[in-house]
Amino acid sequence: MRRYSAFAIAREAARHHQGWERAWRSPEPRKKYDAIIVGAGGHGLATAYYLGKNHGLKNVAVIEKGWLGGGNTGRNTTIIRSNYLQDPSAAIYEKARSLYETMSQDLNYNVMFSPRGVIMLAQTHHEVRGYQRTAHANQHQGVSTRFISPEEVKKLVPIINLDGPRYPVLGGLWQARGGTARHDAVAWGYARACSDMGMDIIQKCEVTGVRSSNGQVMGVETTKGPIDCDKLGIVVAGHSGVLADMAGFRLPIESVALQALVSEPIKPCMDVVVMANTVHGYMSQSDKGEMVIGGGADGYNNYTQRGSFHHIEETVRALIETFPMISRLKMLRQWGGIVDMTGDRSPIISKTPLGNCFVNCGWGTGGFKAIPGSGWAMAELMAKGESPLAAEFTMNRFKAGRFIDESVAAGVAH
């Protein structure tokens, strides 16, 4: 693979951009791989990448029923932060956040990581207590966050209205090194690096069954025929329950649609990410100038990858109290993705009852930020059978009652 560089741009400019290589190959599947990853979202691709990079396992296929990055990875609102409450969560999200800082250099692909800072507004006394507690926990965990006053919030976000009639702003949890990245680029960057290591990314190929013998995984059935493997990683976000069913076990998750929308582009007016969890909406401004607005999850289980009218109204109505200027914005696009929610709002990165079959799911409304950390941990688990980062996130924790409660950090937010 030719590296991207300033020199390469100059060279291609001189020859009318005729010499760019395809970023990844589109091969037909081989008969057998050492490892198969189902799902070419960010988490699946990152798992494959770290299997190759950290563990030398390169005879790997990533199988995707649609196009790579076309699931939640290409549909999210790109917020990156690591201000979670519990120690195992802070560890994996902070690992991910720190890997984002050098991702463009590691992958030789500009993922446009923008550590512009994230504020989670406290708009009730309950939230003030919750976020102060998180800020204290983060100090012990080595995650740099701070509870800030309403005046500091106003300084960071001049367009905010502190004195809303229902929910005045009482402060906020501020993570200066949080931010955003370009979601597609994360998937594309990992895909290019995986393909360069000789891995096969097989798109438009749906896994329709999991084959096993004597309690061990043998391979998968796909729309392009059977493929054998020694190890299988299931990394399919909203379809985790469907794949688990094929592999013969059940997962404690629910699948629901989560929605977002963007406005028409406007002049720069807000250079941090602001989340208002009480009124249930959050907002950032994209490089193109659009206000990127995230809302809530549907209140019922479904597999619908699209938006619905009532969510636009509910989300925008809620945000107008805190950001009056958006009442005059035209909304351009709205969409949905299917997310998989666990009861304690923490992910599952785990062995399964089927030998050599592993699952990574349950990131719910907030897994984009975790992609590199999750891939790192899942690859370690698949290669070595254990991973310190993933140790607490087993699927058995729900049986044992060892919940990792992140309802404040992840229950509604992203």
Ligand X SMILES: Cc1cc2nc3c(=O)[nH]c(=O)nc-3n(C[C@H](O)[C@H](O)[C@H](O)COP(=O)(O)OP(=O)(O)OC[C@H]3O[C@@H](n4cnc5c(N)ncnc54)[C@H](O)[C@@H]3O)c2cc1C
Binding site for ligand X (CB under 6 A): 38-44, 63-66, 70-73, 75-79, 206-207, 235-239, 243, 258-260, 294, 337, 339, 363, 365-369, 414
Least separation in angstroms between residue 17's CB and ligand X is: 29
Least separation in angstroms between residue 295's CB and ligand X is: 8
Task: Rank residues 72 and 114 by Cβ distance to ligand X and give the closer one.
Answer: 72
Least separation in angstroms between residue 280's CB and ligand X is: 13
Contact status, residue 321 vs residue 279, Cβ threshold 8 Å = yes
Distance CA 161, CA 175 (A): 21
Task: Rank residues 154 and 390 by Cβ distance to ligand X and give the closer one.
Answer: 390
Least separation in angstroms between residue 6's CB and ligand X is: 31
Task: Rank residues 169 and 207 by Cβ distance to ligand X and give the closer one.
Answer: 207
Task: Rank residues 40 and 274 by Cβ distance to ligand X and give the closer one.
Answer: 40
Task: Rank residues 65 and 397 by Cβ distance to ligand X and give the closer one.
Answer: 65
Contact status, residue 355 vs residue 274, Cβ threshold 8 Å = no
Task: Rank residues 19 and 248 by Cβ distance to ligand X and give the closer one.
Answer: 248
Task: Rank residues 12 and 254 by Cβ distance to ligand X and give the closer one.
Answer: 254
Least separation in angstroms between residue 396's CB and ligand X is: 21
Task: Rank residues 177 and 414 by Cβ distance to ligand X and give the closer one.
Answer: 414
Bridge partners of 209, per DSSP, are 221
The token pair that represents 251 in the structure block = 């997962």
Using alpha carbons, select from 368, 367, 372 the residue that is nearest to residue 100.
Answer: 372
Distance CA 391, CA 412 (A): 25
Least separation in angstroms between residue 367's CB and ligand X is: 2
Least separation in angstroms between residue 259's CB and ligand X is: 6
Least separation in angstroms between residue 124's CB and ligand X is: 22
Least separation in angstroms between residue 401's CB and ligand X is: 25
Task: Rank residues 21 and 315 by Cβ distance to ligand X and give the closer one.
Answer: 315
3-state secondary structure the chain: CCCCCHHHHHHHHHCCCCCCCCCCCCCCCCCEEEEEEECCCHHHHHHHHHHHHHHCCCCEEEECCCCCCCCHHHCCCCEECCCCCCHHHHHHHHHHHHHHHCHHHHHCCCCCCECCCEEEEECCHHHHHHHHHHHHHHHHHCCCCEEECHHHHHHHCCCCCCCCCCCCCCEEEEECCCEECCHHHHHHHHHHHHHHCCCEEECCCCEEEEEEECCEEEEEEECCCCEEEEEEEECCHHHHHHHHHHHCCCCCEEEEEEEEEEEEECCCCCCCEEEECCCCEEEEECCCCEEEEEEEECCCCCCCCCCCHHHHHHHHHHHHCCCHHHHHCCEEEEEEEEEEEECCCCCEEEECCCECEEEEECCCCCCHHHHHHHHHHHHHHHHHCCCCCCCCCCCCHHHHCCCCCCHHHHCCCC
Task: Rank residues 4 and 335 by Cβ distance to ligand X and give the closer one.
Answer: 335
Least separation in angstroms between residue 182's CB and ligand X is: 12
